[in-house]
């Protein structure tokens, strides 16, 4: 899609190969431009749908895993069930930061679906609600692994568990930015249509 974008941006017609002249140039008329942009818009919408669905599934699975951990009285990292360790450390502030991580997951879903958040905010009037930025999500969720290191809880199972939420935030942000960039490119293509000579 990027090659086509640059072609239209520079007002350079597409190059096609003919039997008589391999360097012949074809200028797209208005209908051909509309068909091209419509096809790219459809491809972009389909790609965005699959990527957002993947992000939604990631958030949901991580949220369920954190809920299970929250109701587990041991407070030990779930990764110890996969790779037991004789020196399994328990983060003493798990009961404090687990609910915060749960709220971060809900916040990430809101950042990924801003149109749904806007509708909820309209219904929540006169209450003022706002979402945390991705930067604040990283800052909040990186506190537990930092405290683990400070407390000497250096087992990879413990650190890996508390780094899981920042990793989910990174996945969601990457997908969100990619979908926004795709929509922006389509909008720029629509604004860069040209009138073909003789059309």
User: How many structural domains is the chain composed of?
Assistant: 1
Look at residue 199 and tell me if it is in a domain.
no
Q: Is 14 helix (H, G, I), strand (E, B) or coil?
A: strand
Q: The domain containing residue 60 runs over which residues?
A: 2-191
Look at residue 52 and tell me if it is in a domain.
yes
Look at residue 197 and tell me if it is in a domain.
no
Look at residue 196 and tell me if it is in a domain.
no
pLDDT digits (tens, 9 = 90+) for 147-158: 999 999 888 999
Average the pLDDT over each of 84-93, 111-120, 176-185, 190-199 and give the range with the smallest value: 190-199
Alpha helix positions (H), 24-163: 30-70, 79-82, 94-112, 114-123, 134-141, 143-150, 156-162
Look at residue 64 and tell me if it is in a domain.
yes
pLDDT digits (tens, 9 = 90+) for 89-109: 788 999 999 999 999 999 999
Look at residue 135 and tell me if it is in a domain.
yes
Look at residue 25 and tell me if it is in a domain.
yes
Alpha-carbon gap, residue 55 to 168, rounded angstroms = 9
* pTM score of the predicted model: 0.77
């Amino acid at each position: 899609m990027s090659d086509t974008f640059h072609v239209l941006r520079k007002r350079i017609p597409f190059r096609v190969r003919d039997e008589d002249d391999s360097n012949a140039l074809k200028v797209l008329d208005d209908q051909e431009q509309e068909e091209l942009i419509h096809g790219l818009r459809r491809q972009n919408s389909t790609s965005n749908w699959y990527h957002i669905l993947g992000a939604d599934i990631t958030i949901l699975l991580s949220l369920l895993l954190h809920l299970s951990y929250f109701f587990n009285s041991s407070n030990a990292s779930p990764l110890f069930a996969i790779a037991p360790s004789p020196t399994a450390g328990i983060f003493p502030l798990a009961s404090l930061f687990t609910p915060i991580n749960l709220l971060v997951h809900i916040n990430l879903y809101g950042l990924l679906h801003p149109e749904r958040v806007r509708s909820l905010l309209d219904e929540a009037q006169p209450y003022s609600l706002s979402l945390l930025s991705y930067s604040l999500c990283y800052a909040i969720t990186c506190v537990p692994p930092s405290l683990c290191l400070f407390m000497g809880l250096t087992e990879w199972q413990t650190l890996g568990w508390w780094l899981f939420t920042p990793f989910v935030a990174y996945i969601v942000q990457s997908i969100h930015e990619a979908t926004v960039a795709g929509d922006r490119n389509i909008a720029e293509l629509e604004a860069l249509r040209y009138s073909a000579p003789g059309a």
